Amino acid sequence: MQKAQEFNLKEKLKEVFGHNQFRGNQEEIIKNLLAGNHTFVIMPTGAGKSLCYQLPAVLMDGTAIIISPLIALMKNQTDQLVAFGIDARFLNSTLSKSEMTKVKKDVLSSKVKMLYVAPESLTKEDNLEFLKKAQISFVAIDEAHCISEWGHDFRPEYRKIRGIVDSLGKLPIIALTATATPKVQQDVQKNLQMEDANVFASSFHRSNLFYEVKPKKDPKKQLIKFIKQRKGQSGIVYCLSRKTVEEIAELLSVNDIKALPYHAGLEADVRMRNQDAFLNEDADVIVATIAFGMGIDKPDVRFVIHYDAPKSLEGYYQETGRAGRDGLEGHCLMLYDREDIYKLEKFNKDKSVTERDNAKHLLQEITEYAECSVCRVKQLLHYFGEEFKAHNCGQCDNCHHHHKKYEAEDQVILILKAAKLTEQRFGAKHLADVVMGVPNEYVKSYGHDKLEVYGKGLDFPETDWLSLVRHILIFDFLEKDIENYGVLKITEKGEKFLKSSHSITFTKDYDFSAEAEEAEEEQENTPQTSGKAYDEVLFDLLKNLRKRIAKEKNLPPYVVFQDPSIEEMATTYPTTKEELAQVNGVGMGKVQKFGKPFLDAIVKYVEENEIETASDVVIKSAVNKSKVKIFIIQQIDRKVDLEEIAEAKDLSFDELMDEIEHICYSGTKLNLDYYINQVMERDRQEDLYDYFMNSETDNLQVALQELSEDDFTEEEIRLIRIKFLSEVAN
């Protein structure tokens, strides 16, 4: 086993992946794995889990086996690794027999550094026999929460992994997950026999995401308004059923939003085609069931919307974590209605008693999260066993809104006393029933109707006791018992509060049923960002170049360069290979593979705009917006079709027409005859030309109204108006 000291890890990180620094505890994790130790990694989505096994796989002799749950993720990961010059393959049912044979041959010849396989593939005897002959460096188990029955995505085949790994020899194991409550973590380690593993738990705090929950009062209108305010941005809309997915995808499409559906009921080739369209920026929005997600690694998703309530907080956290994986801002919106929770509960009616109870607890967590007025970041982190100490996160609707506060010292004391007197063996509902004096059989059977705290909650008539218990949990006066699901115990902080209490204020929770009935004024809760520091014209130019190159090479655009790298190029203006290699996320390998056209474009742009460059950061605050107009004039002079001009500048046809009209109104003569003659008959041209010759105004709305009987389209009217003004006015 190679030792970490044999390598300069930071140098290797830069050389292979183009990054200057490790993030969080990546370096410690990598060193631990290189030392041959079992490793358990709990790291939120987008924080860099993959690098924790990808870099060791490159450095170590032999082939690393990556056990991954979805075929789409394997393809996605291997595409990215190949772009970095790393030999990575996958072994699954999409390969032909000859392709499988070639993969196995290359693995046995030690060419391949990483082999992605599904757990189902590992159980096949011929695959196991092949792997026993290979030189394997270690085994990585991605999405390790799938092992746990207490997790949100349990897969029985994952529980067989340890036995299979043992049959391959004594190998170090690295298990990785983005979502693991303390209960799930314990279950995963026990099943993998990794109780001795070094555990690396990163913070679950995603400081670039904004969390918001709105009452689901007019969901279709809310959805369209939200997405149209983010025109051209990539986003995911999660729905509960396949039927809803189809309906919403169609609704968005007819409202001029480039959206496609994704669910398990679609043909496999349709699913793959729609996913590729999203990855390649040919579609802005994917509308999906939770079947979409684990197979996607798109870094520039700017928003995630839960049109229907999610099934668990773990699932919600993982799904929202698909926004902003590039470190830039992301917005996570949940449209909440208790009816969705009731529907989900009905779906669980045919499950076993244990499964039904587990599902009910998970749904209860969603209800509490949605309706609770406490900082949403604090709630999410608490769920994963992490404390968030800041008073205001500044990145959720609860911290932006003003909620009604109340003094809760006496109520907290009462609940803590109730927990102590009931021997810390019960959950929130039972404690609330006891203090409220609810005379049900359950309370009576334990004699809790005889306790001194029984019925004392009636002294606080406005208190919602279940809500209060949630607050007490989040503020760490009570904690969940890992061994006994639903049971609450008093923490050390709670014991101190009982001995020496102090004033404490809580906030009133939402009443979503009342809010949904009110005519709520829509407000944008996201803090406004300041003006961009990078050169937006160059950024757009490089993004369009990236899209073209990606299409030529049949790769998703981010595989070429990610948005943060493009932003840095548009800030620092690198003009040599060495300077480009210093851009974060690039590295010399990518420079050799993709760099030349980008360098050519930047050099040309720098010369045309007389920009002084330096190896340090040069911020260009004022961009030359006339460049687009010059480009349009030049292309029209060359008689290039307008659709091609629009595509070259990543404009919609309407946006291009706006630019052309602006040029025309500025006094520049444009000859669009070559295009107009293709799309309009001569007599229709003459009728419209005569209209503008005799009209008192060139107002488009007036023209549409006066010409309504003649069936002229808005596009035709705009084209002839430009022709008329160019010939007569300019």
Q: List Cβ neighbours of 230 (8 Å cut-off, separation of 6 or more).
A: 302, 303, 331
What is the chain's length? 730
How many other β-carbons are positioned within 10 Å of the β-carbon of residue 267?
A: 8
Question: Bridge partners of 103?
Answer: none
How far is C-alpha 544 from the geometric centre of its chain's CA atoms?
23
- For residues 154, 156, 162 and 167, what is the CA-based torsion angle, rounded to 10 degrees? -150
Q: Please, are residues 551 and 589 in contact by the beta-carbon 8 Å criterion?
A: no
CA end-to-end distance (rounded Å), the chain: 77
How far, in Å, CA of 623 to CA of 217, rounded? 42
Determine the pLDDT at residue 623: 36
Environment class of 607 (CB within 10 Å of its CB; exposed 0-12, middle 13-18, buried 19+):
exposed
Beta strands 478-480 and 488-490: pairing type? antiparallel
Q: Please, are residues 87 and 45 in contact by the beta-carbon 8 Å criterion?
A: no
Domains of the chain: 4-201 (3.40.50.300), 209-392 (3.40.50.300), 405-507 (1.10.10.10), 536-608 (1.10.150.80), 626-728 (1.10.10.1390)
Joined together, the tokens standing for residue 672 give 């669009």
Q: Please, are residues 140 and 67 in contact by the beta-carbon 8 Å criterion?
A: yes
Determine the pLDDT at residue 527: 38
Q: Is 423 left (phi over 0), alpha (psi -120 to 50) or beta?
A: left
Q: Please, are residues 445 and 430 in contact by the beta-carbon 8 Å criterion?
A: no
Joined together, the tokens standing for residue 432 give 């609330």
Tens-place pLDDT, residues 429-452? 899 999 999 989 989 999 999 999
How far, in Å, CA of 704 to CA of 568, rounded? 45
Determine the pLDDT at residue 7: 67
Closest CA to 301 of 236, 210, 396, 211: 236
Provide the greatest CA pair distance for the chain: 96
Q: Give ∠ CA 206-212-216 in degrees, rounded to 5.
A: 145
Q: Is 464 left (phi over 0), alpha (psi -120 to 50) or beta?
A: beta
Tens-place pLDDT, residues 567-594? 889 888 899 988 888 887 676 767 888 8
- For residues 438, 441, 447 and 448, what is the CA-based torsion angle, rounded to 10 degrees? -30
Q: Which residue matches tokens 């700017």?
A: 302
How far, in Å, CA of 626 to CA of 400, rounded? 39
Environment class of 377 (CB within 10 Å of its CB; exposed 0-12, middle 13-18, buried 19+):
buried
How far, in Å, CA of 117 to CA of 724, rounded? 64
**Which ranges of the chain have pLDDT less than 50?**
4, 516-531, 614-625, 730
Q: Please, are residues 539 and 650 in contact by the beta-carbon 8 Å criterion?
A: no
Determine the pLDDT at residue 610: 77
- Own/partner contacts of 662-670, CB < 8 Å, gap of 24 or more, are 662/629, 663/629, 663/632, 663/633, 664/722, 664/725, 664/726, 664/730, 665/725, 667/730, 668/633, 668/730, 669/726, 669/727, 669/730, 670/633, 670/636, 670/722, 670/726
Closest CA to 311 of 261, 350, 361: 361
How far, in Å, CA of 570 to CA of 577, rounded? 15
What b/e string do you get for 3-33 counting C-beta neighbours within 10 Å, with b at 16 or more? ebeebebeeebbebbbbeebeebbbebbbbb
